Amino acid sequence: MSSAKNRAGSRSLLVAGAGIPGLTLAIALKQANGPALDVTVCDPGLSVGAARHRGRAFAVAAGPRRMFERLGLWERIAPAAEPIRDMVITDSRLGDPVRPTFLTFAQRSAEEESRGEPFAHMVEAEPLVAVLLGAAEEVGVTFEPTGIADAVPEGARIRATLGDRRELAASLVVAADGARSRLREAAGIGWVGWSYPQSGIVATITHERDHEGRAYEHFLPSGPFAILPLPSCDGRHRSSIVWTERQADVPALLGGSAEDTLAEIERRFGLSLGHIALEDGPSAHTLSFGIARSFFGDRLALLGDAAHVIHPVAGQGLNLGFSDAAALAETVTEALRLGTDPGAPEVLRAYERARRFDTVAMAAATDGLNRLFSNDALPVRLARDLGLGLVDRLPGLKRFFIGEASAIRGAQPRLLRGEAL
Ligand SMILES: Cc1cc2nc3c(=O)[nH]c(=O)nc-3n(C[C@H](O)[C@H](O)[C@H](O)COP(=O)(O)OP(=O)(O)OC[C@H]3O[C@@H](n4cnc5c(N)ncnc54)[C@H](O)[C@@H]3O)c2cc1C
């Protein structure tokens, strides 16, 4: 069994979960600390590689994009990224002949435009993960294509048992093992959460006309239907859809022929981009809300969906995970530079302090937004439409919303501000 501090005097850190936030953390830590920190990422999914992320795409906010620039990775990610230059929000029923626009995010100041910083990019997951896996290998992260079965703290170290019964010791284990985190549960960390009676259906669509970087969010009574611009491929114009539906209706909507499914998508997608076809999907995902009662345990830090799961209405779940990775990389690196134990409670408490408020605020905002809009009662419709109309007429307020969605406001971790660790 290896020790928490190996013979060369370096510390070790284990990441359980090679999802996007787990890999980002591993790269940031290894880049900043070199041989002073051994970083091992364990995940049975590593044997499949990036291919298991095929067909997914995420809105990556401006802060995380700055982090990837600082890590020297954005140039490699950029070919798989499409800037969102404009966002149109509508509120209507499915059969309505027109969808009035209530909010647009296109008008940015000349200064913002000159900085060339769109508030988010849509990034395809498979090429993004391929870049992250390559970069992790280059900086010397060790991969173990097996899960962590359990992790037991023992004084100045934590002993992890892998799926194949081998044991590894570290100063800190990071649970980046998703919403149903086995390590969080084994550590007895509570979870406050519930399931939404909705599913999130994702698919990649090709269409006749160029999207020109415009995203749409149509608020329909059963939930939001988002159309998000993707990079063109072999001359085909493409968008990703995230379609929220009542869970009970999903089998009927997706269970018919491919033509029937496409017709259902077309009813919601509209005709503005011309004729559409399915490139990938659809696949349906259960939706839930949850926040861990604490973001750390004894020599254990929670990261990404292991710490929080939110509704995808604002495309912010992964962005919270990126902020976690930036904050944890910063607190661990500071501890190592001071020569202190990176798994000590005060280090993990500093990580939680950096992340808790932002996470709770975003979780509450996305839950409220979904409840407000997945609702067809007339008084609620009138109130929300008035609210959206007001925001649209107040540029200051709108900039606030864009700043929030861009994860660039407030006391952000250094990497999200584009600064070195
Ligand atoms: C429909 C939908 C659309 C979304 N759109 C967006 C968006 O546009 N923008 C955005 O920011 N977010 C979005 N999200 C949220 C985003 O998908 C998640 O927040 C993100 O994928 C979470 O990543 P994660 O690595 O924390 O968890 P996961 O992706 O669940 O990864 C967990 C990893 O841990 C591994 N693992 C599990 N158990 C173990 C173990 N015991 N040991 C080792 N490894 C283990 C798994 O194999 C997996 O690789 C969306 C979510 C949904 C449902």
pLDDT digits (tens, 9 = 90+) for 348-401: 999 999 999 889 988 888 887 777 777 666 666 666 666 666 556 555 545 555
Do 330 and 70 form a contact (C-beta atoms < 8 A)?
A: no
pLDDT score of 9 more than 70: no
Q: To test ligand 1's pocket by mutation, which of 58, 165, 358 has the most ligand atoms within 8 angstroms of CB?
A: 58
Substitution candidate for ligand 1 out of 318, 328, 362 with most atoms within 8 A of CB: 318
Evaluate whether 67 touches 418 at the Cβ level (below 8 Å): yes
Question: What's the mean pLDDT when you consider all of the chain?
Answer: 88
Residue 418 in contact with residue 66, Cβ under 8 Å? Answer: yes
**Which one of 166, 241, 305 would you pick to mutate in the ligand 1 pocket, going by the greatest count of ligand atoms within 8 A of its CB?**
305
Reduced to 3 states (helix: H, G, I; strand: E, B; else coil), residue 270 is: coil
Q: For the segment 162-204, what is each residue's pLDDT rounded down to a tens digit?
A: 999 999 999 999 999 999 999 999 999 999 999 999 999 999 9
Q: Is 63 in the pocket of ligand 1 (CB under 6 A)?
A: no
Answer whether 58 contacts ligand 1 (Cβ < 6 A): yes
Residue 222 and residue 163: Cα distance in Å, rounded?
A: 41
In ligand 1, the atom with minimum distance to the C-alpha of 21 is 25
Given pLDDT bands bounded at 50, 70 and 90, which one contains residue 108? Answer: low
Name the residue at shortest CA distance from atom 20 of ligand 1.
318
Tell which wins on pLDDT, 272 or 151.
Answer: 151
* Cα–Cα dist 327/336, whole Å: 14
CA of 369 to the centre of ligand 1 (A): 21
Q: How far is the CA of 51 from the centre of ligand 1 (A)?
A: 15
Cβ–Cβ < 8 Å for 355, 323 = yes
Q: What is the pLDDT of residue 113?
A: 52
Check whether 104 has a pLDDT greater than 90.
no
pLDDT in tens, 32-51: 999 999 999 999 999 999 99
Q: How many percent of the chain have pLDDT more than 70?
A: 84
CATH 3.50.50.60 for the 11-81+124-194+289-374+413-417 domain, yes or no:
yes
> Does 281 contact ligand 1 (Cβ within 6 A)?
no
Residue 22 Cβ inside 6 Å of ligand 1? The answer reads yes
Count of CB atoms situated within 10 Å of the CB of 294: 18
| Phi, psi (degrees; rounded to nearest 5) at 144 | -125, 110
CA of 179, closest atom in ligand 1: 30
Question: Counting every residue, how long is the chain?
Answer: 421
Residue 85 confidence class, pLDDT cut points 50, 70, 90: confident
